[in-house]
Amino acid sequence: MMMPLAYYVGLSAIMFVLGIIGVLVRRNALVVFMSLELMFNAANLLFVAFSAYFQLLTGQIFVFFVMTVAAAEVAVGLALMVEIFRTKHSIDLDQMSEMKG
Amino acid sequence: MTPVMVVFGLLGVVVILTALGMLLSRNAIYSALFLVLNFATVAVLYIILGAPFISLVQITVYAGSIMVMFLFVIMLLGAERLPGSDRLRRQRWIAAILGLVFVAQVILFIFFRGQLTAPVGTPPATLGSPQAVGTTLFTTYALPFEVTGAILVVATVGAILLTRGAALPYSPIRKEEK
Protein backbone atom coordinates (compact mmCIF):
# COMPACT_ATOMS: atom_id res chain seq x y z
CA MET A 1 0.00 0.00 0.00
CA MET A 2 2.94 2.31 -0.35
CA MET A 3 1.66 4.77 -2.89
CA PRO A 4 2.93 8.32 -2.64
CA LEU A 5 0.23 10.72 -1.54
CA ALA A 6 0.99 12.93 -4.53
CA TYR A 7 -0.52 10.41 -6.93
CA TYR A 8 -3.86 10.58 -5.18
CA VAL A 9 -3.72 14.37 -5.18
CA GLY A 10 -2.93 14.39 -8.90
CA LEU A 11 -5.74 11.98 -9.74
CA SER A 12 -8.16 13.99 -7.66
CA ALA A 13 -7.09 17.21 -9.41
CA ILE A 14 -7.64 15.64 -12.82
CA MET A 15 -11.10 14.42 -11.82
CA PHE A 16 -11.99 17.81 -10.39
CA VAL A 17 -10.91 19.67 -13.51
CA LEU A 18 -12.84 17.27 -15.73
CA GLY A 19 -15.89 18.05 -13.60
CA ILE A 20 -15.31 21.79 -13.93
CA ILE A 21 -14.96 21.50 -17.70
CA GLY A 22 -18.18 19.50 -17.78
CA VAL A 23 -20.02 22.21 -15.87
CA LEU A 24 -18.62 24.92 -18.13
CA VAL A 25 -19.03 23.20 -21.48
CA ARG A 26 -22.06 20.93 -21.47
CA ARG A 27 -25.49 22.43 -22.12
CA ASN A 28 -27.56 19.50 -20.91
CA ALA A 29 -28.52 20.34 -17.34
CA LEU A 30 -28.48 16.70 -16.28
CA VAL A 31 -24.91 16.23 -17.51
CA VAL A 32 -23.95 19.39 -15.65
CA PHE A 33 -25.37 17.77 -12.53
CA MET A 34 -23.33 14.64 -13.16
CA SER A 35 -20.18 16.74 -13.55
CA LEU A 36 -21.00 18.24 -10.17
CA GLU A 37 -21.11 14.76 -8.70
CA LEU A 38 -17.72 14.08 -10.28
CA MET A 39 -16.29 17.09 -8.48
CA PHE A 40 -17.79 15.90 -5.17
CA ASN A 41 -16.13 12.58 -5.82
CA ALA A 42 -12.73 14.14 -6.45
CA ALA A 43 -12.96 15.97 -3.13
CA ASN A 44 -14.04 12.77 -1.38
CA LEU A 45 -11.07 10.88 -2.80
CA LEU A 46 -8.78 13.54 -1.40
CA PHE A 47 -10.46 13.31 2.00
CA VAL A 48 -10.03 9.55 2.17
CA ALA A 49 -6.43 9.71 0.94
CA PHE A 50 -5.46 12.22 3.61
CA SER A 51 -7.44 10.23 6.18
CA ALA A 52 -5.27 7.20 5.43
CA TYR A 53 -2.16 9.37 5.34
CA PHE A 54 -2.68 10.87 8.78
CA GLN A 55 -4.33 7.70 10.17
CA LEU A 56 -7.31 9.77 11.31
CA LEU A 57 -10.95 8.86 10.91
CA THR A 58 -12.20 12.44 10.59
CA GLY A 59 -11.76 12.53 6.82
CA GLN A 60 -13.92 9.48 6.31
CA ILE A 61 -16.64 10.90 8.56
CA PHE A 62 -16.61 14.06 6.48
CA VAL A 63 -16.93 12.01 3.31
CA PHE A 64 -20.02 10.41 4.83
CA PHE A 65 -21.55 13.84 5.43
CA VAL A 66 -20.62 15.00 1.93
CA MET A 67 -22.39 11.97 0.47
CA THR A 68 -25.61 12.58 2.38
CA VAL A 69 -25.67 16.25 1.46
CA ALA A 70 -24.98 15.32 -2.17
CA ALA A 71 -27.91 12.90 -2.09
CA ALA A 72 -30.19 15.64 -0.75
CA GLU A 73 -28.91 18.07 -3.35
CA VAL A 74 -29.51 15.62 -6.17
CA ALA A 75 -33.05 14.94 -4.97
CA VAL A 76 -33.96 18.63 -4.92
CA GLY A 77 -32.06 19.35 -8.13
CA LEU A 78 -33.72 16.60 -10.11
CA ALA A 79 -37.13 17.70 -8.83
CA LEU A 80 -36.30 21.18 -10.13
CA MET A 81 -35.24 19.67 -13.47
CA VAL A 82 -38.55 17.85 -13.80
CA GLU A 83 -40.47 21.01 -12.98
CA ILE A 84 -38.43 23.12 -15.44
CA PHE A 85 -38.97 20.49 -18.13
CA ARG A 86 -42.70 20.63 -17.49
CA THR A 87 -42.90 24.37 -18.01
CA LYS A 88 -40.28 24.89 -20.74
CA HIS A 89 -40.19 21.45 -22.43
CA SER A 90 -36.41 21.59 -22.48
CA ILE A 91 -33.51 21.37 -20.06
CA ASP A 92 -31.01 23.06 -22.35
CA LEU A 93 -29.20 25.54 -20.15
CA ASP A 94 -28.91 28.06 -22.99
CA GLN A 95 -32.67 28.40 -23.08
CA MET A 96 -32.96 29.28 -19.40
CA SER A 97 -32.31 32.95 -20.01
CA GLU A 98 -35.51 34.58 -18.82
CA MET A 99 -33.76 36.50 -16.06
CA LYS A 100 -31.17 37.98 -18.40
CA GLY A 101 -31.03 41.71 -17.82
CA MET B 1 7.16 -0.72 -9.92
CA THR B 2 5.32 -2.44 -7.14
CA PRO B 3 2.07 -4.34 -7.78
CA VAL B 4 0.15 -1.67 -5.90
CA MET B 5 1.47 0.91 -8.34
CA VAL B 6 0.29 -1.15 -11.29
CA VAL B 7 -3.17 -1.52 -9.75
CA PHE B 8 -3.32 2.18 -8.96
CA GLY B 9 -2.24 3.04 -12.50
CA LEU B 10 -4.94 0.84 -14.02
CA LEU B 11 -7.61 2.25 -11.71
CA GLY B 12 -6.46 5.79 -12.40
CA VAL B 13 -6.64 5.24 -16.14
CA VAL B 14 -10.16 3.83 -15.78
CA VAL B 15 -11.21 6.77 -13.60
CA ILE B 16 -9.91 9.35 -16.08
CA LEU B 17 -11.28 7.56 -19.13
CA THR B 18 -14.74 7.16 -17.63
CA ALA B 19 -14.78 10.81 -16.58
CA LEU B 20 -13.81 11.79 -20.12
CA GLY B 21 -16.47 9.47 -21.50
CA MET B 22 -19.09 11.09 -19.31
CA LEU B 23 -17.92 14.50 -20.49
CA LEU B 24 -17.85 13.72 -24.19
CA SER B 25 -20.69 11.32 -24.90
CA ARG B 26 -23.65 12.91 -26.64
CA ASN B 27 -26.19 10.62 -25.04
CA ALA B 28 -27.01 11.45 -21.43
CA ILE B 29 -27.70 7.80 -20.59
CA TYR B 30 -24.18 6.87 -21.66
CA SER B 31 -22.90 9.71 -19.50
CA ALA B 32 -24.75 8.31 -16.49
CA LEU B 33 -23.45 4.79 -17.10
CA PHE B 34 -19.87 6.08 -17.45
CA LEU B 35 -20.32 7.88 -14.17
CA VAL B 36 -21.50 4.66 -12.47
CA LEU B 37 -18.30 2.96 -13.61
CA ASN B 38 -16.30 5.93 -12.38
CA PHE B 39 -17.89 5.76 -8.92
CA ALA B 40 -17.31 2.01 -8.70
CA THR B 41 -13.64 2.46 -9.59
CA VAL B 42 -13.23 5.17 -6.97
CA ALA B 43 -14.83 2.75 -4.48
CA VAL B 44 -12.03 0.28 -5.25
CA LEU B 45 -9.53 3.07 -4.57
CA TYR B 46 -11.23 3.62 -1.20
CA ILE B 47 -10.68 -0.06 -0.37
CA ILE B 48 -6.99 0.32 -1.24
CA LEU B 49 -6.88 3.32 1.07
CA GLY B 50 -8.28 1.27 3.94
CA ALA B 51 -11.82 2.65 4.06
CA PRO B 52 -14.15 -0.31 3.46
CA PHE B 53 -17.21 1.33 5.00
CA ILE B 54 -16.92 4.46 2.88
CA SER B 55 -16.29 2.28 -0.15
CA LEU B 56 -19.50 0.32 0.29
CA VAL B 57 -21.47 3.47 1.06
CA GLN B 58 -20.06 4.90 -2.16
CA ILE B 59 -21.35 1.91 -4.12
CA THR B 60 -24.79 1.77 -2.51
CA VAL B 61 -25.49 5.50 -2.27
CA TYR B 62 -23.64 6.98 -5.24
CA ALA B 63 -23.40 4.24 -7.83
CA GLY B 64 -26.68 2.81 -6.63
CA SER B 65 -29.39 5.20 -5.58
CA ILE B 66 -28.15 8.55 -6.91
CA MET B 67 -27.34 7.25 -10.36
CA VAL B 68 -30.59 5.30 -10.52
CA MET B 69 -32.35 8.57 -9.76
CA PHE B 70 -30.41 10.23 -12.58
CA LEU B 71 -31.25 7.46 -15.04
CA PHE B 72 -34.88 7.52 -13.96
CA VAL B 73 -35.17 11.27 -14.56
CA ILE B 74 -33.34 11.06 -17.90
CA MET B 75 -35.72 8.38 -19.13
CA LEU B 76 -38.75 10.11 -17.63
CA LEU B 77 -37.97 13.35 -19.44
CA GLY B 78 -36.72 11.65 -22.59
CA ALA B 79 -33.84 14.09 -22.42
CA GLU B 80 -31.06 11.76 -23.45
CA ARG B 81 -30.40 13.47 -26.76
CA LEU B 82 -30.38 17.22 -26.74
CA PRO B 83 -29.33 19.06 -29.86
CA GLY B 84 -26.04 20.68 -29.03
CA SER B 85 -26.13 24.44 -29.15
CA ASP B 86 -23.07 26.10 -30.62
CA ARG B 87 -23.36 29.36 -28.80
CA LEU B 88 -20.31 28.72 -26.63
CA ARG B 89 -17.90 27.39 -29.20
CA ARG B 90 -15.01 29.70 -28.32
CA GLN B 91 -15.51 29.47 -24.55
CA ARG B 92 -15.34 25.69 -24.85
CA TRP B 93 -11.72 25.79 -25.97
CA ILE B 94 -10.86 28.40 -23.38
CA ALA B 95 -12.37 26.17 -20.68
CA ALA B 96 -10.37 23.16 -21.86
CA ILE B 97 -7.11 25.11 -22.05
CA LEU B 98 -7.59 26.69 -18.62
CA GLY B 99 -8.39 23.27 -17.17
CA LEU B 100 -5.21 21.83 -18.64
CA VAL B 101 -3.22 24.72 -17.23
CA PHE B 102 -4.70 24.10 -13.79
CA VAL B 103 -3.92 20.38 -13.85
CA ALA B 104 -0.38 21.12 -15.03
CA GLN B 105 0.05 23.60 -12.20
CA VAL B 106 -1.11 21.12 -9.58
CA ILE B 107 1.07 18.32 -10.91
CA LEU B 108 4.14 20.53 -11.25
CA PHE B 109 3.56 21.83 -7.74
CA ILE B 110 3.27 18.32 -6.34
CA PHE B 111 6.35 16.94 -8.04
CA PHE B 112 8.69 19.89 -7.78
CA ARG B 113 7.76 21.07 -4.34
CA GLY B 114 8.14 17.52 -3.13
CA GLN B 115 6.06 17.89 0.00
CA LEU B 116 3.54 15.19 -0.73
CA THR B 117 5.86 12.42 -1.84
CA ALA B 118 5.67 10.63 1.49
CA PRO B 119 3.93 7.29 0.94
CA VAL B 120 0.47 6.61 2.25
CA GLY B 121 1.14 3.89 4.77
CA THR B 122 -1.14 0.95 5.39
CA PRO B 123 -3.70 2.12 7.91
CA PRO B 124 -4.64 -0.37 10.61
CA ALA B 125 -7.60 -2.49 9.63
CA THR B 126 -9.66 -1.08 12.48
CA LEU B 127 -9.37 2.51 11.26
CA GLY B 128 -12.06 2.55 8.61
CA SER B 129 -14.13 -0.37 9.81
CA PRO B 130 -17.89 0.07 10.14
CA GLN B 131 -17.60 -0.29 13.90
CA ALA B 132 -15.06 2.53 14.21
CA VAL B 133 -17.00 4.78 11.83
CA GLY B 134 -20.25 4.12 13.68
CA THR B 135 -18.73 4.76 17.09
CA THR B 136 -17.24 8.05 15.96
CA LEU B 137 -20.42 9.04 14.18
CA PHE B 138 -22.62 8.50 17.20
CA THR B 139 -20.31 9.99 19.82
CA THR B 140 -18.07 12.77 18.54
CA TYR B 141 -20.22 13.71 15.57
CA ALA B 142 -23.67 13.00 16.99
CA LEU B 143 -25.02 16.50 16.40
CA PRO B 144 -23.86 16.78 12.75
CA PHE B 145 -25.32 13.31 12.20
CA GLU B 146 -28.73 14.45 13.43
CA VAL B 147 -28.48 17.59 11.29
CA THR B 148 -27.79 15.35 8.31
CA GLY B 149 -31.00 13.51 9.01
CA ALA B 150 -32.89 16.80 9.15
CA ILE B 151 -31.33 17.85 5.82
CA LEU B 152 -32.47 14.62 4.20
CA VAL B 153 -36.02 15.05 5.49
CA VAL B 154 -36.15 18.64 4.26
CA ALA B 155 -34.83 17.60 0.86
CA THR B 156 -37.38 14.81 0.58
CA VAL B 157 -40.27 17.10 1.48
CA GLY B 158 -38.96 19.74 -0.92
CA ALA B 159 -38.60 17.29 -3.79
CA ILE B 160 -42.11 15.95 -3.27
CA LEU B 161 -43.56 19.44 -3.03
CA LEU B 162 -41.73 20.56 -6.18
CA THR B 163 -42.85 17.64 -8.30
CA ARG B 164 -46.49 17.52 -7.26
CA GLY B 165 -47.11 20.30 -9.74
CA ALA B 166 -50.53 21.54 -10.70
CA ALA B 167 -52.41 18.97 -8.68
CA LEU B 168 -52.02 21.16 -5.62
CA PRO B 169 -53.89 24.46 -5.46
CA TYR B 170 -51.30 25.83 -3.04
CA SER B 171 -48.20 24.62 -4.84
CA PRO B 172 -45.41 27.18 -4.48
CA ILE B 173 -44.40 26.87 -8.12
CA ARG B 174 -47.78 27.41 -9.71
CA LYS B 175 -48.96 30.13 -7.42
CA GLU B 176 -47.94 33.10 -9.54
CA GLU B 177 -49.42 31.64 -12.69
CA LYS B 178 -52.95 31.72 -11.40
Three-state DSSP class for residue B119: strand
| Chain B residues touching residue A80 (CB < 8 angstroms) | 162
**Rounded Cα–Cα distance for residues A35 and B24 (Å):** 11
Kindly give the residue spans of alpha helices, DSSP state H, lying in B49-177. Answer: 52-57, 67-77, 89-113, 130-139, 142-164
Kindly give the residue spans of alpha helices, DSSP state H, lying in chain A. Answer: 5-25, 29-54, 58-88
Q: What is the ipTM of this complex?
A: 0.90
Domains of chain A in start order, with CATH, are 5-93 (1.10.287.3510)
Are A64 and B127 within 8 A, CB to CB? Answer: no
- Per-residue model confidence as pLDDT tens digits over B1-47: 688 888 899 999 999 999 999 988 888 899 999 999 999 999 999 99
Q: B 34-53 residues with CB below 8 A of A?
A: 35, 38-39, 42, 45-46, 48-51, 53
Residues in chain A: 101
- Per-residue model confidence as pLDDT tens digits over A56-99: 899 999 999 999 999 999 999 999 888 888 888 877 877 777 77
Number of H helices and number of E strands within chain B? 7, 1
Q: A 29-68 residues with CB below 8 A of B?
A: 30-31, 33-35, 37-38, 41, 44-45, 48-49, 51-53, 55, 57, 60-61, 63-65, 67-68
